[in-house]
Chains A and B, each alone.
Chain A
Amino acid sequence: ELKVEQNPLFLSMQEGKNYTIYCNYSTTSDRLYWYRQDPGKSLESLFVLLSNGAVKQEGRLMASLDTKARLSTLHITAAVHDLSATYFCAVSPNDSGGGADGLTFGKGTHLIIQP
């Protein structure tokens, strides 16, 4: 069974600081996704990482993927209050067995950025 673990699960930080969220997964995968969710809202796609060494950046967020280590990171640079949200990573396994059509999500990182 594919397991996806995020850490930390809760993070409170001040504006202007940098921090990294980690996402580890337990099986072979070349496809990893980062989503943002605001309270009571749906999930907004942030990044799609499709190969080992993939790095994508959008504004103050940068995501990377190391398929050998089965690790993805989401780095926040000079955080601002508007980035407060819950961030999820999700993985699609490489095999085509049962459940391969659905994403497996981590529990999410609740990020609070204090002004």
Chain B
Amino acid sequence: NAGVMQNPRHLVRRRGQEARLRCSPMKGHSHVYWYRQLPEEGLKFMVYLQKENIIDESGMPKERFSAEFPKEGPSILRIQQVVRGDSAAYFCASSPKRWSLANQPQHFGDGTRLSIL
């Protein structure tokens, strides 16, 4: 499967716990984008990363949320001290170069459905 891989597909956490969501980009892609989809809403951009760098985090909440994309391994979206409002589907997309410079659609993974009890 050469697509964007996300895991886990479903994640349940209790309030106050930490959630870690993983995204492995398509082979050869070094740019990753994270989005959040609340129920009955469209996707909202959170953060754009290249390997070892955060390029644009304008959509990321200022507290409790962080993202990384290390030199080796998947991109991680981390949510600390989760609250009920964090319940959502989190999608990532990847591209071989800066997507805004290319005239192609973003290709999305299957998402992680996060439920907070």
Contact = CB atoms under 8 A, between A and B. Distances in A.
A102 B59 contact: yes
B56 A98 contact: yes
Contact of A48 (B91, B103, B108): B103
Contacts of B98: 101
Interface residues of A, number: 26
A50 B101 CA distance: 12
Interface in B16-68: 33, 35, 40-46, 48, 55-56, 58-59
Query: Which one of A43, A48, A98, A104 has the greatest number of beta carbons of chain B within 10 Å?
Result: A43
Interface stretch (A58-66, A67-75, A77-85, A105-113): A105-113
Interface in A13-54: 31, 33, 35, 40-43, 45, 48, 50
Interface in A75-103: 88, 90, 92, 96, 98-103
Given A43-B91, A50-B103, A102 B109 contact: no
A41 B113 CA distance: 10
A31 B56 contact: no
Contact of A42 (B41, B45, B109): B109
B42 A90 contact: yes
A31 B106 CA distance: 12
Interface of A: 4, 31, 33, 35, 40-43, 45, 48, 50, 88, 90, 92, 96, 98-108
27 contacts: A31-B103, A35-B105, A40-B113, A42-B91, A42-B108, A42-B109, A48-B104, A48-B105, A50-B103, A88-B43, A90-B43, A96-B100, A99-B59, A100-B56, A101-B33, A101-B45, A101-B48, A101-B99, A101-B100, A102-B35, A102-B56, A102-B59, A103-B35, A103-B106, A104-B45, A106-B42, A108-B42
